[in-house]
Chains A and B, each alone.
Chain A
Amino acid sequence: MIRKVRGLILAGLLAGAGLAACSPAATPDESVGAQANAGLSPVAGLALTCSGCHSSMGGGIADISDYTSEAIMTALDRYRLEVDGTTVMHRLTRGYSEDQLQAISDYLGAGQDE
């Protein structure tokens, strides 16, 4: 259940326009319950950065909304370890521990993993 909800919240964040779809879904009493809390976890905080660039806009930056956790982690690991990489992701991933990257991957990919 929580996994699904997380996936939903994320799909919303990543799709950009999807925020609209999330808000009306919560009823008053559960709004400070499981759903809100899943979206308020520390890893959700770490992942806030991603949606500033990654969306369904297309063009020069990948839309990662349909990536599995594994696909995301594979990409992040490659960025982190590639010494002569030239993209912003190479420089950004080096600021996170492997555990943090794994947690972000699990979180972002949760909806796609089943």
Chain B
Amino acid sequence: MSKRVTLSRRHLLAGLAGTAALPVLAPRAIAQTNARLVVIGGGFGGATAAKFLKHFLPNTSVTLIEPNETFVACPFSNLVIGGQREISQQAFTYDGLRALGIDVVHQTAGDVDVDAHTVSLLEGGGSVAYDKLIMSPGVDIRWGALEGYDEAAAEVMPHAWKAGAQTSLLRQQLEAMEDGGLVVMSAPLAPFRCPPGPYERASLIAHYLKTQKPASKLLILDAKDSFSKKPLFLEAWAKLYPDHLEWRGAADFGRVVSVDAPTMTLSTDFEDIAASVANVIPPQKAGEIAERAGVADETGWCPINPLDFSSTLQPDIHVIGDATIAAPMPKSAFSANLQAKFCAMQIARQVAGLDLEPTVLANTCYSYISPDQAISITGVYSNADGQLASIDGAGGLSPENADDSVRTAEAAQADTWFRTITQEAFG
């Protein structure tokens, strides 16, 4: 036993040795039979991680800490806002994980004691001990970073950037709006969850207005001048929604500097705009528990060693998903799911005393431009040499000016993707 442990340690260090810039944190040696593996956050990253830890290391104890009994998925929630889907179709339970022998604890992780290797539980008290901890807490809103946008304002001007009640609220407001109204969206600077998400949402809101409330209009106020899939979205908007959607970038005073919820006003450096419905997508940071665990840096996001997604700040903690600094990999459910599988594999390799091999990672994000048409962005990434880097010549966008058949085929692929990834994470 001790021989294996030494081996696994040496191999791990050998694996890290190529990454001179990153601090090498001495990991706690663990053995297969009694390892305690704990995951914080049961979203796309965390649920997948728990399943694959159990898959690769069937005899370890795997505990998933997640407050909600039902997970409400963000991907495809823009179709709920657009009126194509019900919010109930976004809901997933943890029964599938329990059936695999994963201990699902419906509590909020209150704090992480990195020295004692324990996670304290907020509601029930007590704590859970870990040998290895994977954190996938997603994002939290930076309340107040946009002047006037606090939790009370979000009940009036929903962000709908965490799916659930916020998604339903925005949908209800759109339905209740009289025809002739002005819908205003505010999009933040990068980095934020789902880079093409605001523009997919804008497309589907514009589709709703065009077909149901034709005298109304959507204005997108953007803090940036460029955004994900921009040429494809601009092409789609010009073709599909010329009278119902206007995008204003930073150069045209699109950046919202403050909001006033009581008067439904969004202010730029140039003017104050009164909205009938306002969707404010605010600045974000890693889920708050990341800060408390000491795995987030001054940017609010979590630096990781991409060889195994281990935190560069704390030993025996791995961070995956939206919370990480993993650019050029985007903050997507696809990325979170793949990082989870790979991170679980690297932890299993370490337990088995195998070298931590680098790999090739990828991402695909589909965005609907109308209820039956979609576009995509892909990327392929190397995690060798201590950093994530896009592989030259690969990845990129769907073709511009493509036939409708290309767009409808991608919509069908998006649908299969959603059903597959949610099955892989929660099924």
- Hey, which bits of chain A sit against chain B, CB under 8 A? 12, 16-17, 19-20, 22-26, 28, 31-32, 36-37, 39-40, 42, 44-46, 48-49, 51-55, 57-61, 84, 86-88, 91-96, 100
Contacts and interface: CB of A to CB of B under 8 A. Distances in A.
B364 A46 contact: no
Contacts of A31: 32, 57-59
Contact of A48 (B342, B398, B411, B423): B342
Interface string B384-400: 00000001011110110
24 contacts: A16-B423, A16-B424, A19-B54, A19-B100, A23-B54, A26-B58, A36-B348, A36-B352, A40-B348, A40-B349, A40-B352, A48-B342, A52-B424, A53-B416, A57-B423, A59-B416, A60-B412, A61-B413, A61-B417, A87-B410, A88-B410, A91-B395, A92-B380, A94-B394
Interface of B: 4, 32-33, 51, 54-59, 99-101, 334, 337-338, 341-342, 345, 348-349, 351-354, 357, 359-362, 364, 376, 378, 380-381, 391, 393-396, 398-399, 402, 406, 409-417, 419-421, 423-424, 427
A61 B361 CA distance: 19
A75 B369 CA distance: 28
Contact of A60 (B58, B352, B362, B416): B416
A12 B58 CA distance: 14
Nearest to A58: B416
A58 B413 CA distance: 10
B398 A52 contact: no
A57 to B, nearest CB: 5
A24 to B, nearest CB: 7
Contacts of B99: 20
Contacts of A55: 416, 419-420, 423-424
Contacts, number: 152
Of B334, B352, B416, chain A has the most CB atoms within 10 Å of the CB of B416
A27 to B, nearest CB: 9
B420 A17 contact: no
Given A17-B427, A28-B59, A42 B380 contact: no
A23 B58 contact: yes
Contact of B419 (A24, A32, A57, A95): A57
A37 B354 contact: yes
A92 B342 contact: no
Given A26-B58, A60-B414, A49 B361 contact: yes
A93 B54 CA distance: 30
A44 B52 CA distance: 13
A23 B57 CA distance: 8
A52 B59 contact: no
A45 B357 contact: yes
B417 A52 contact: yes
A45 B412 contact: no
A42 B57 CA distance: 17
Given A23-B58, A53-B413, A93-B394, 20 more contacts: A16-B423, A16-B427, A20-B99, A22-B55, A24-B58, A28-B33, A32-B351, A32-B353, A36-B57, A40-B345, A48-B341, A48-B342, A48-B345, A57-B419, A60-B414, A84-B399, A88-B378, A92-B378, A95-B380, A95-B391
